Structure 1
Amino acid sequence: MSMNVSDQLVEMLKQAGVKRVYAITGDSLNPVNDAIRRDGTLEWIHVRHEESAAYAASMDAEINGIGCCMGSSGPGHVHLINGLYDANRSGNPVIAIASTCHTEKFGSDYFQETNPILLFNDCSKYNQIAATPKQFATMMPRAIQIAKEEKGVSVISLPGDVAEAPAADVPSSLKSYVTKSVFRPNDIEIKELAEVINNHKKIALYCGYGAKDAVKEVELLAEKLNATIAYSFRGKIFFDKPESQYTVGMNGLLGNPSGFKSLEKADVVLMLGTDFPYAEFMPKDNIIVQIDKRAEIIGRRAKVDYGYQGDIKDTLEVLLPFLNVKKDKDFLEKMHALYVEEEKKYEKPKEDAKENKLNPEDAAVLINKYASEDAIFTVDTGMTCVWAARLIKASKNRYLTGSFNHGSMANALPMAIGAAASDKNRQVIAMCGDGGLSMLLGDLATVMQYQYPIKIFVFNNRSLGMVKLEMEVSGYIDWQTNMINPPFDKIAELMNIKGIEVKNYQDLEPKIKEAMEHNGPVLVNIYTDSDTLAMPPKITFEQMRGFATTMVKKIGLGKFNEVENMVKAGIDTL
């Protein structure tokens, strides 16, 4: 049998390093399905919703360097979009194959016809329709190369008639290539940067995801300068080491006061591989240096004084010999002591919690305690992000991720599916909100089908907790945020997933320990308190006024129990 375009696609994906495809087959995607079946080396993961396919492929790419998802004609590939937005904004190389109606039907308002160029342009680095076999053979290697080098999504729309047509030969290469160049500022810039650092006393390092491959170099830099190490949410899992004397916590809305203050009080702040989006948490009156591979982002989050383009590891390796040792530890010790004091409050569990109102921080502390040293954590957007940001710690080789740039709900479960499918040897933990899990609840069936041993912890506060808090601090009544949920643990049991319910504090630790030790998939339904507050490192007068306004409005509506709970939650937090 001669090779067709779908066979050619399979060969190109394999050569690029793709090991599995996340998809739901159908109509114009069937030729590709058949080619993968006949090849026998690519794994087809049958998810229950294409959004889950995109999230899972993004997670696969985040761990392994490339991922692939597919959607059938019309609604099938439309469903990919939210997950592709997340992948593209996260810098994860994902190849998305969007099958379409046959080419002769284009422009006729045919059944399930879409315009993929308009549809995918804003969530991709490369987006083309392959209308002939020669176009496909020319476009596909370019799509792979761009996804890998520009770190994002490439979409190839593949009509059904093209997918089953004989493969064509073209003069361009059918391979994709991996480059590993040294990438750093020039020698003059390195010496300029060294002079800035050497001429100032208090140095703070602010590390993001772009510094993940330079942990050793960052720690050597901190040691030489007696500098503090603060980090963004995406950088946290690489630098938040309890044993480190340089760690001062996270900066930002979910961060620590010590992380914020270390940047505010430093003479020089070095932004290392971070595109932290909240400019209001960046210092205003000190010298800011930003180093990043992407020159186009330098200065868009803060008033940067010195900007350099380069890989963090390559840059620091060359920079370190030019730096003078700083012996004064006063600034470092003060900031680290503040961080340690802040962390102590999480050591005291809320043992008197009422039934169905468990403290979510206690649950997160125990998840951190019993998780393996190389666990992969996926975290839903919302209040679950707060508890993960503050309480899940770096260990030997842990990894933590979520929809930290796109900010979508429902990401934790499909990301966990991608992690479990792509790495069979590591523990995978999904920290889900009840709102997020409800959105893609059907993909528990994917966990059931493949029996991925994911540990799913549902922080079930029966509300859209983060939205509720946003409304309260803005002075609004938190209306339409409450949720009546099904018993998630019972649903899990129906899907051949071990289900555990936790409503009382005395059951919390033994049930979490039981879940971690279970040899298979498990869902733990933890009934948490929706009134638990998450205090930012910097509280504004407007936030306090908004919170007070909400309480006055609730008193006027006779909601005295809710006001009492708000006051008590505030006192407990402070």
Structure 2
Amino acid sequence: MSQTVSEIVADTLVEAGAKRVYGIVGDTINHFIDAVRRSPLDWVHVRHEEVGALAAGGESYMTGELSVCAGTAGPGSLHFVNGIFESHRNGAPVVLIASNVDRAEQGLGFPQEVDQRKIYEQTSVFCEAISHPDQARRITAMAAQAALARGGVAVVIVNGDMFKQTSDDARHWSVHRASPVVRPSEAELDALAAMIAEAKRPTIYVGIGARGAADQVKALAERLAAPVVHTTRSKEFIEPANNWNVGMTGILGNRAGMEAVADCDLLICLGTDFAYTQFYPERAKIAQVDTDPTHLGRRTPVDLGLVGDVGATIEALLPRLQPREADKHLTAAREQWAKDRAGYDKQADEPDPALIHPQHVAHLLDRLAGDDAIFTADGGSPMVWLLRHLTARGRRRFLTSLMHGTMANAYPQAMGIKLAYPDRPVIAMCGDGGMTMLMGDLLTLVQEEIPIKLLIFNNSSLGFVEMEQRVEGLLDSFTGLKNPDFAALARCVGIEGTRVEAAGDLDAAMRQWLAAKGPALLDVKVNRMELVMPPKIEAGQVAGTAMFGLRAVLGGRSGEVVDLLRDNFLR
């Protein structure tokens, strides 16, 4: 039976498990849109393609299943770029249908012509064009299989006129889902066991590559009586019910996590590719386990690099290890972790009648949100408040932009997540800078009836950038934001909106916001002079902040210096 390329692509995506296509309709994809209309796929009509790519990535990151974006030639496909980079670096299996001008015009400088391959091959696991109708099913199936198997974005380039071509190819090119078990050799496992036996103060460092292996990680920690430090993306599965967890290292981490890594004599890295070399131990031996051989020793020199799934590797390793009793290394880490949490609680539970601290907002959200809630957070300070003040418990899930570090990711990603999990609360923790960057898609929440909850940390600034400038000893420049009343704006477009300016009003407002049936926005006016304090304050950071204070006073901004000291160092 003859089918158009449009029909073949849509059918193949459905068979691969896709449920939604995100994008904006237009000339070169109109025939594909018509095929989507007649298929089981849902079309999600966004107002900006970047939002579509972020939403698709949010859906696929959480579900592990395929989602799809589709864009018109030139500007339509180019608007996806940043969202595609974010989704790809998160390992989200997304297929992008990137259209181009008709073949008769290609290579002639026709309006909106773009070389899609050059753009997208740097941010994809697969990037190929359909050059003949008989390739349509085969290439689409290959793209879907690559996205699912390798964890990333796959791009299929289709000329506008190609969508209308027909094929009689009766061969059935399907998507195969393999689930191999990979682990190191016996000799390599023996070498790791010997390294562990020699260590006096081992620490386990766990990343997103250990997803699905939380039980095995806990078993290893119990056997070694070793503290477990986790990356930001592994918080959701390492933190719950884990007596060996002591938090995170890095600038966004806590003191217990940082010291457990710095003071160890053996760091066992499991599925982590943490990028910041200054936070690895200087004198300890390092063993690394990863499924990707190119990640071994990429961030810091390692003494032993092993290729394997974390869960399978630990299961094969455990019989080789002798049980240990808790010692000073684990005890010190646990005691410091308790102090770190108490410190976060103290910061959060001191609402000032004159202003609202963002930590207090996040802490209250942690108490009021359900155990099955899914949270996203914008890059910058909202991400920090999520990581430090939200508890991973029950079935909670978290998504932040750490690998790509983009602005404006939170509520677009929440859109795709909510469509995939309609019965679970989905909450986006937004910065005012992030919200205003892609604010137009508030209209999508109404049009597509997506009942996510938006929490805006409204400090009238690009707060994280402001902090970076001050720590460098610079005067903060061009970070101020003249914001609208976000709650009033939300109500104008059909979203329930509430604004809070006093700490005493926050509890009731947040309860009402969480209980709203449709999309709802809570605009909280938070303290601008709030530093994101690192686990340890270094001399250079103190000097930098002092230099900012001197320059600010000399520039007639002494009031800001007083606020900075009161709100961060005198509390």
**Normalised-by-shorter TM-score class:** over 0.9
- 1:80 partner letter: F
Deviations 1:121-167 (A, max 9, x none): 22212222223213433422222222222211111111111111112
Displacement of 1:168 after TM fit?
4.6
Residue number in structure 2 paired with 1:235: 234
What are structure 2's unaligned runs of at least 5 residues? Answer: none
Report the counterpart of residue 437 of structure 2 in structure 1.
Answer: 439
1:319 and 2:312 correspond? no
Q: Residue 249 of structure 1 aligns to a residue in which SS?
A: coil
How many residue pairs get aligned? The number is: 569
**CA 351–193 in structure 1, closer or farther in 2 if over 3 Å, else same:** closer
Q: Is the 8 A contact 1:351 1:505 kept in 2?
A: no
SS at 2:3's partner residue?
coil
TM-score w.r.t. length of structure 1 = 0.96
**Correspondence for 2:34:** 34
- Aligned 8 A contact 1:350 1:359 in 2: no
Q: Identify the residue that residue 246 of structure 1 maps to in structure 2.
A: 244
Q: Aligned partner of 2:568: which letter?
A: G
Residue 363 of structure 1 pairs with residue 372 of structure 2: no
Distance 1:438 1:354 in 2: 28
CA–CA separation in structure 1 for the residues paired with 2:351 and 2:300: 44
Question: Could you tell me whether the CA contact under 8 Å between 2:353 and 2:504 is conserved in 1?
Answer: no
Kindly provide the amino acid, as one letter, of the partner of residue 234 in structure 2.
G
Which deviates more, 370-379 or 514-523? 514-523
Which residue identity does 1:485 align to in structure 2? N
| Partner of residue 6, structure 1 | 6
Counterpart CA distance in 2 for 1:445 and 1:221 is 49
Q: Give the corresponding residue for 1:153.
A: 153
The range that moved more, 299-308 or 463-472, is 299-308
1:495 Cα deviation after fit: 2.1
Q: Which residue of 2 aligns with 1:74?
A: 74
Q: Secondary structure at the match of 1:302?
A: coil
Q: How does 1:184-223 map to 2 (within 5 A)?
A: 184-223=183-222
Task: Please tell me whether the aligned partners of residues 209 and 235 of structure 1 are also in contact (alpha carbons under 8 angstroms).
Answer: yes
Distance 1:135 1:245 in 2: 53
**Correspondence list, 1:290-329, <5 A:** 290-329=288-327
| Matching residue's letter, 2:307 | Q
AA matched with 1:552: L
CA–CA distance in structure 2, aligned partners of residues 354 and 279 of structure 1: 42
d(CA) in 2 for partners of 1:328, 1:476: 46
For residues 468 and 354 of structure 1, the distance between their equivalents in structure 2, rounded to whole angstroms, comes to 24
1:411 maps to 409
* Separation in structure 2 between the aligned mates of residue 523 and residue 501 of structure 1, nearest angstrom: 8
What's 2:281 paired with? 283
1:225 alignment partner AA: L
CA–CA distance in structure 1, aligned partners of residues 63 and 41 of structure 2: 15
In 2: Cα distance, 1:155 partner to 1:261 partner: 43
Which residue of 2 is the match for residue 425 of structure 1?
A: 423
| 1:493-508 matches, cutoff 5 A | 493-508=491-506
Contact 2:350 2:360 in 1 (8 A): no
Once the two structures are overlaid, the 10-residue window that deviates more, 564-573 or 100-109, is: 564-573
Q: Which amino acid aligns with 2:248?
A: M
Cα 1:25–1:326 shift into 2, 3 Å: same
Cross-structure match for 2:269: 271
**Do 1:5 and 1:165's aligned partners in 2 also have CA atoms closer than 8 Å?**
yes
Deviation at 1:351, TM superposition (A): 4.4
Deviation track 1:456-482 (CA, whole Å, cap 9, x = no partner) reads 100001000010001111121101101
Query: Hey, what's the Cα distance between the residues in 1 that align with 2:570 and 2:74?
Result: 51
Displacement of 1:445 in angstroms is 0.9
The alpha-carbon deviation at position 354 of structure 1 amounts to: 5.0
Question: Is the partner of 2:68 in helix, strand or coil?
Answer: strand
Identity %: 36
For 1:159 and 1:71, how far apart are their aligned partners in 2? 11
Q: 1:315, 1:269 → 2: CA distance? A: 16
Task: Identify which range, 368-377 or 431-440, moves more after superposition.
Answer: 368-377
The aligned counterpart of 2:22 is 22
Written as runs of structure 1 = structure 2, the 5 A alignment for 1:72-221 is 72-169=72-169, 174-221=173-220
Distance (Å, rounded) in 2 between the aligned partners of 1:285 and 1:274: 19
How far apart are residue 450 of structure 1 and its match?
2.4
Letter of the 2:10 partner, please give it: V
Q: Structure 1 residues 455 and 261 mapped into 2: Cα distance closer, same or farther (>3 Å)?
A: same
In the TM superposition, what are the counterparts of 1:363-382 in structure 2 within 5 Å?
A: 363-382=361-380
Query: CA shift at 1:541, angstroms?
Result: 2.4
Aligned partner of 1:521 in structure 2 is 519
Q: Which amino acid aligns with 1:207?
A: V
Is 1:393 aligned to 2:396, yes or no? no
Letter in 2 for 1:517: A
Poorly superposed stretches of 4+, deviation over 6 Å: none
CA distance in 2, matches of 1:274, 1:9: 36
The answer as to whether partners of 1:59 and 1:67 remain within 8 angstroms in 2 is: no
| 1:34-58 C-alpha deviation (Å, 9 max, x unpaired) | 001112x111111111001111111
Distance 2:570 2:458 in 1: 20
Question: Equivalents in 1 of 2:570, 2:384: separation in Å?
Answer: 16
Moved more, 458-467 or 316-325: 316-325
